Structure 1
C-alpha cells in the first residue's frame, strides 16, 4: 500500500472512533448551546498546534459567534521555529505554572459559561491549569485529547494530574501514541500525525450540533458564509452581524472584570429611543 492510501485508511479508523463518541459530542453541544443561548461564550483554549482546533471552531466560513478563542501568541506563534518567537520558547512556556491564571485574569467568568480545552497529550501544564481554573469557577469543561497518546504521556505537572482529571467530558481524536500514523520503510521514526484530522472532525461535529440546537430553540446562528453561496451583499451582512455579535458577547466578559471602577458600575447611557 502506498503512503497516501495508508494515511487515508488510518484516517477512516479515526472517523470510526469519532462516530462511537456521538452521544458525548451531542452532550458537549448541549452544554455549549445553553451557554450561547444565555448570551455568554464558550471559551476555547489550545497551546502549540492545538491552536488549530480553536481557529477551526471560530471564526471561519461555516461558523458563528458564541465562542471565545483564547490563543496566546507566546504559546502558539512558533512559525519562525528558531530565534525570537521560536518553538523552544513556546514549548517552555506551555509548562510554566501560573500562566493560565494570568490569562484568565482578563475575563469575568460565569457559571453560565462552558469551555473546550484542547491538548493532544493532555499533559502540559498550561492547558491542565486552564481546565482546573474553569472548573473552580463552576464552568463545565470538555477536554479534547488523544486518548492513547495521553495515557502513555507523563504529566509535566508536579502532582501528575492530566487534563482529563479536570474535565467533565473527554473527547478522543482517535490518533495513535506519538500522533504520527505512518511507518516508512527504512525510516525508524513514524510520520504524518492524525490528531489534527480527528480534532477538526470533532469540533465541526460539535459546531453542527450546536447550530441545530440553537435553530430549534428559535435562535438560529448568524453563520459566516461565502459570497458565491449566499451572494456578495448577504455575505458582507452576515460577516458584519456575526462579528458585532461576537463583540457584544465579549463585552460581557470585560465589563465587570477584576477590580471595580466607576466605569464598571456605571449604568448604560440611554439611547435616543429611551429618552
Structure 2
C-alpha cells in the first residue's frame, strides 16, 4: 500500500509541475500585492485550512499573506458534540457567511486572493471568491479539477469556485480524493489533495520569494536557529510578525462606518 500511495503521489507531482506557467502567474500577482504593501488573502474551509496555514505563518514562509481561518468552519478536533464536524460541514454551505467574514476588512484592487476548496462546490468558498472579484481582487482558485468537474455545487445557481477564479490550479488528486483501493474494502482510502495542495502552495511561495528579492525587497523568512543562528532567527521572527501587523493594520483602518478615530491626523 505504501508503494502504491507514493506512486500516486509521483503522478500528482507531475500534474503540479505541468502547471508551472500558472504557478508563476499566481506568484506574479501575489508578489505585486506584497510589493504594494497589501496582503494576499488566503481562505479555505474544512480541511482546506491546512493549505492556509501552510502558506503562513510557518518556517520557510514570510509576511504578505492574510490567513483567514474561521474556527466555526475548520475546528475538527472534537468531531462530535459542541463545535463538532456536523456543524462545520453545515456552516460552510450557509449563504451570506462569506460576506460577514469579509465585512471585517477594507479591500482594494491591489489585493489578491488564494481560495482553496478541493471540490470547489461549497457555498462559503464560492461566495468568498465572488465577493473578492466584485472588489477587483484577482482570485486564484486551488481545486481538485477532476473531483470538482464530477461534483455538484451546493450553491443554488449551480456555480462553482472555478466560475469566480481568474486562475485555476489543480491538486491532481482523483475524484473523491482518496487514492487507494484495498482488497475487500468497498471504499478507497488515503487522500491526495493535501499532497498536491502543499506542493502548489510552496511552489508559489518560492516563486514569490524570488520575485521579491529581485525587486530589492527580500522577504523576512521565518527561519530555524540551527540554520541562521539563534539571534538571527529571533530577529527574523520578530520583524516578520511586526511586518504582518503593519500590513494587517491597513485592512482595518478604513473598514466600515467612519468614526473620529479613523479620520486623518487623529
What is the TM-score when the length of structure 1 is the normalising length?
0.96
Using the alignment, how far apart are the partners of 2:41 and 2:107 within structure 1?
Answer: 10
3-state SS, counterpart of residue 107 of structure 1:
coil
Structure 1 residue aligned with 2:44: 46
User: Aligned to 2:72, which of 61, 67, 74?
Assistant: 74
Counterparts of 1:1-275 in structure 2 under 5 Å?
A: 3-267=1-265
Q: Residues of 2 paired with 1:185 and 1:81: CA distance?
A: 28
- The 2-side partners of 1:246 and 1:82 are apart by 35
SS of the aligned residue for 2:142 comes to: strand
- Following superposition, the deviation at residue 78 of structure 1 comes to 1.5
Match of 2:124, SS state, is: helix
Structure 1, unaligned runs of 5 or more: 269-275
Distance in 1 between the 2:108 and 2:205 partners? 22
State the Cα distance separating 1:266 from its structure 2 match. 3.1
Instruction: Find the residue that maps to 1:263 and give its secondary structure.
Output: helix
Deviation per CA, 1:68-90, whole angstroms, max 9, x where unpaired? 00000000002100000100000
Q: How many residues align?
A: 266
Superposition CA RMSD, Å: 0.5
Structure 1 stretches of 4+ with a deviation exceeding 2 A read none
Where does structure 2 lack aligned partners over 5 or more consecutive residues? none
Question: For the residues of structure 2 that align with 1:264 and 1:173, how far apart are their CA atoms?
Answer: 42
Deviations 1:135-185 (A, max 9, x none): 000000000000000001100000000000000000000000000000000
- 1:105-151 CA-to-partner distances (Å, cap 9, x unmatched) read 00000100000000000000000000000000000000000000000
Cα deviation for residue 267 of structure 1 reads: 1.8
Aligned-partner Cα distance in 2 for 1:26–1:12: 21
Alpha-carbon shift at residue 192 of structure 1 (Å): 0.1
What CA distance in whole angstroms lies between the structure 1 residues aligned with 2:136 and 2:258? Answer: 22
**Partners of 2:74 and 2:145 in 1: CA distance:** 22
Distance 2:265 2:244 in 1: 21
